[in-house]
Amino acid sequence: MTNDPLCITDDQQPAAECQLEKFQSYLELRNMSSNTIRAYLYAVRQFLELYPEATHDYMMLYKCYLIDHYKPQTVNLRIRAINCYMEYLKQPTQKILMVRMQHKSFLENVISQADYEYLKSCLLRDGYIQYYFAVRFMADTGMRISELVQVTVEDVQNAYIDLLSKGNRVRRIFIPNAVREPCLLWLKNIGRSSGHLFLNRFGRPITTTGIRDQLKKFALRYNLDPAVVYPHAFRHLFAKKFIERCDDIAMLSDILGHESIETTRIYLHRSRSEQQQIFNQVVNW
């Protein structure tokens, strides 16, 4: 239990875990992704550990607690989780508002094309072929890391992967020939014709955590900024390159699986470093 003055320190009710199991079933019936379910359960468990019951007053205290301890994006994720929990409890009137987030006029932590090319060459040179293809798949398709770990050899052969997303919608992610053909050649050379594409050293499907941890190690090994060598950075790179070559933002929104085109508009902006470079070039009077 926390010693934060906003928190109630009563012991957690024995029925809490049972309630969480029922809430998990509720989320699964709504076809939410495993990552979303995990995040929602974490938030509700945290709330129930801090407060004795789910009331509007305690939810407001929880909101204050979140604002004091986390970034706005995390705050809003956990508020969404608690609001969803209130819907599950059939108390929608108890829902609370999320915090307002200022829209940034620049992209953050986007790996540069030069660093991306350097990373790929290092991975090939040192024999990390699987991770070479992992970063290529993210940078050449825009897929999320949670989607990357689901790719199978059969998907590569078919040149696309179909995934069930929110609202029971099937999202098709295309695998371009530029990465598909060398990947098929690699698979042929190592004698693999089926199963998950990316495996750990035990031959089991690699986890998202495993990929994140390995990318951090590669960043340190190759003297790259760890802030730009992480899974979503390659998705950012894909979106940025796509919008530069094809100005169809609606198509990009569909490819990325965004629920709103407004989410995709950030890719119309330049990165902060690009803005600074242009600014220094223009402002020379």
Residue 118 has a pLDDT of 95
Residue 9 has a pLDDT of 41
Tens digit of each residue's pLDDT (9 = 90 or more) over 77-108? 999 999 999 999 988 777 888 877 655 544 56
Asked whether the predicted pLDDT for residue 236 surpasses 80, the reply is: yes
Residue 6 has a pLDDT of 41
Residue 238 has a pLDDT of 87
Assigned fold of 113-235: hpI Integrase; Chain A (1.10.443)
Residue 52 has a pLDDT of 85
Least confident of 58-62, 88-92, 250-254: 250-254
Asked whether the predicted pLDDT for residue 222 surpasses 70, the reply is: yes
Asked whether the predicted pLDDT for residue 123 surpasses 80, the reply is: yes
- State whether CATH 1.10.150.130 applies to domain 16-94: yes
Rounded mean pLDDT of the chain? 83
**Residue where the block lists tokens 């991770």:** 131
In angstroms, the CA 17 to CA 21 distance is 6
Least confident of 127-136, 164-173, 217-226, 261-270: 261-270
Residue 5 has a pLDDT of 39
Residue 224 has a pLDDT of 92
* Sequence ranges of the domains in the chain: 16-94, 113-235
In angstroms, the CA 91 to CA 23 distance is 14
Asked whether the predicted pLDDT for residue 190 surpasses 50, the reply is: yes
The residue type found at 157 is: Q
